[in-house]
Structure 1
Amino acid sequence: MERRRSLPDVLAGGIFVLIGGAFVVGALGYELGSPLRMGPGAFPLLVGVIVAVLGLAIVIKGLIAGEVAEFGPVPWRAIAVIVLAVIFFGSTVRGLGFIPTSAVTALLTTLASRRIRPITAVAVSAGLTAVGTLIFVVGLQLRIPLWGPWLGF
């Protein structure tokens, strides 16, 4: 029986262990409290331990029963467009407002796929903008203007 190792699983599990360990170290700077009266450091400590243990399990699985995964070409265009869309949203939401920024961001992210048609992109953008507005501005009552000062509203 051939023993396979999965480098992606080992690397991903290692990242989880590092992130969980960082949470544990950060949580130790806060008061932990007792089980009946937990302090502000108890929840991050618990989350950090759980993430680290899951990461360790992924590392062990990758070392023992890994699977050989073949990767295709990296979709650089999609990665670049999505990163640019997120940067656009974060830097313009206060100035343009939630509705125009969400619409442009959704439209940009649809450009990540080469197979989407323009009418579908516009429909997806309109739908995501409407749903996002209902969830974040109406439902969660985030204090984000619908139309920003850059537009003169």
Structure 2
Amino acid sequence: MVIDRANALCGAIFVAFGIYFASVSLTMDLGTPFRMGPGFFPLFLAVALMLLGLVIVAQATRVAGEPIGSFALRGMAFILPAPVLFAVTLKDLGFVPSIFLSTLLASFASAKMRLPVALVLAVLMTAFTTLVFVGGLGLPFRLFGPWLGGR
């Protein structure tokens, strides 16, 4: 039997995370499908994650995969801190600068990215997310925080 180790490992990780999140969501009130409690949707997502993981593991037994290569350290060094930067700066800098800085940081995960293109990307992403989340959905984000003179 041929097993694709990379896909089997990824599927197993999905299943493990699904089990963990399902167990956490079961400690909350589930409610009913028509009157959902706080644990209903996380449980639904956890079950979907477990099913996806099982499908990936099953597929890993059918197809021989490529060997696991090296980790993309540059990608991890720029993409993983971007949401943390957003979360840390949102309250004090505001929505617009936080999105801009996070996008700018994440864009350098590619070695081919150059500063002018990254700046354009950050401006476009900031405009798009501001229009969607603040303008379209009406979420109550402060556009500019107290560090930049916002209220």
Match of 2:4 among 6, 17, 21: 6
In the TM superposition, residue 30 of structure 1 has moved relative to its aligned partner by 5.4
Which residue of 2 is the match for residue 68 of structure 1?
A: 65
Match of 2:109 among 112, 118, 128: 112
Amino acid at match of 1:56: L
Which residue of 1 is the match for residue 88 of structure 2?
A: 91
Q: Does 1:77 align with 2:71?
A: no
Q: Matches of 2:74 and 2:47 in 1, distance apart?
A: 37
Match of 1:54 among 48, 52, 62: 52
Q: Matches of 1:39 and 1:85 in 2, distance apart?
A: 32
Asked if the contact 1:15–1:55 (Cα under 8 Å) also holds between the matched residues in 2, the reply is yes
Map 1:1-40 to 2 at 5 A: 3-29=1-27, 40=37
Residues 44-100 of structure 1 show CA distances to partners (whole Å, capped at 9, x for unaligned) of 5554444333322322322x3132213443221221122222221110111011111
Give me the TM-score of the superposition, normalised by structure 1.
0.78
- Segment drifting more, 87-96 vs 111-120: 111-120
Give the superposed CA RMSD. Answer: 2.6
Among all aligned residue pairs of Structure 1 and Structure 2, give the percentage whose two residues are the same amino acid: 36
Query: Max radius of gyration: which structure?
Result: 1
In the TM superposition, residue 107 of structure 1 has moved relative to its aligned partner by 1.3
Q: Matches of 1:96 and 1:31 in 2, distance apart?
A: 35
Count the aligned residue pairs: 149
Q: Does 1:141 align with 2:138?
A: yes
Question: Unpaired runs of 5+ in structure 1?
Answer: none
- Segment drifting more, 96-105 vs 49-58: 49-58
Asked if the contact 2:6–2:68 (Cα under 8 Å) also holds between the matched residues in 1, the reply is no
Q: Matches of 1:97 and 1:43 in 2, distance apart?
A: 29
Q: Matches of 1:56 and 1:44 in 2, distance apart?
A: 18
Asked if the contact 1:96–1:149 (Cα under 8 Å) also holds between the matched residues in 2, the reply is yes
In the TM superposition, residue 20 of structure 1 has moved relative to its aligned partner by 2.9
Q: Matches of 2:41 and 2:102 in 1, distance apart?
A: 34
